[in-house]
Chain A
């Protein structure tokens, strides 16, 4: 069974640039959630994708957007990067969609630094 993988591991960008982070969900999982974890804080929910549609969103501006593909992999796109976007971005996969109580399995994260 393959776990959740994310790429790249680390990324350095400058203010105003755009970034795309990628996630491959665990085998058999059809739901992907993205989280932002700032230093010293717990993960903050960005959004969730199920059946290629966004079905839940946290308090993040529209410049945070995403996609889910037919193979359930996912992308997180952030436009017009700001210094406060520097964080560890975590992808989590699960099975069953938004109403499921199944636990989420997390990838190792992408560390984004905005200079």
Chain B
């Protein structure tokens, strides 16, 4: 079975400081990994994905994520956070080693960036 854990319910940072949102995953095969962001009363917006290749993935709005196979992690990072980055962030995984086509999401991490 595939699963995602986001160990922090909330992350608080000051504007201009680095932002990290943690994600670990569990799959039986190899993972496809995704990050999405959700603003209040909105659907999820795609930020970035890891399929294969370079472990450092760059995405939208200055976000990047690093895939670490040995630690089964895919942490989301932004070098300098903005107040407008305040939102709910979801990590998701799909196990490409099975015929289970579903995308499994973590419980989400609320990011608050203070001015």
In the complex formed, the residue of A with least CB distance to B50 is A101
B45, A106: Cβ atoms closer than 8 Å? yes
Cβ-defined contact, B46 with A104, below 8 A: yes
Q: Which residue of A lies closest to B35 (CB)?
A: A103
Contact B43 A56 (CB under 8 A): no
Query: Given the complex, which residues of A lie within 8 Å of B94, measured CB to CB?
Result: 101
In the complex, the answer to whether A43 meets B102 with C-beta atoms within 8 Å is: no
* CB closest chain-A residue, reference B52: A101
Known contacts: A43-B90, A43-B105. The answer to whether A101 contacts B51 by CB under 8 A is yes
Q: Which of B4, B90, B103, B107 has the most CB of A within 10 A?
A: B103
Query: How many B residues, CB 8 Å from partner?
Result: 25
Residue of chain B at shortest CB distance from A6? B43
B-side contacts of A103, CB under 8 Å: 34, 46, 49
Cβ–Cβ contact A42 & B90, under 8 A: yes
Find out whether the CB atom of A101 lies under 8 angstroms from the CB atom of B108: no
CA distance A35 to B104 in the complex (A): 10
Q: How large is the interface on A (under 10, 10 to 19, 20 to 34, 35 or more residues)?
A: 20 to 34
Indicate whether A2 reaches chain B with its CB closer than 8 angstroms. Answer: no
Is A66 located at the chain interface by the 8 A CB criterion?
no
Residue interface bits B79-115, CB-to-A below 8 A is 1, else 0: 0000000000010101010001111111110000000
- Residues 23-57 of A, flagged 1 when their CB comes within 8 A of B and 0 if not, give 00000000001010000111111001000000110
Residue pairs across A and B with Cβ atoms less than 8 A apart, 15 shown, are A4-B43, A33-B102, A35-B105, A41-B108, A42-B92, A42-B106, A42-B107, A43-B105, A44-B105, A58-B102, A98-B101, A99-B101, A103-B46, A104-B46, A108-B43
9 tightest A-B CB contacts, nearest first: A42-B105, A56-B101, A106-B43, A45-B102, A98-B101, A106-B44, A108-B43, A103-B46, A101-B51
Known: A43-B105, A48-B101. 19 other contacts (CB 8 A): A4-B43, A33-B103, A35-B105, A40-B107, A41-B107, A42-B4, A44-B105, A48-B102, A56-B102, A58-B102, A101-B51, A103-B49, A104-B46, A105-B46, A106-B36, A106-B44, A108-B41, A108-B42, A108-B43
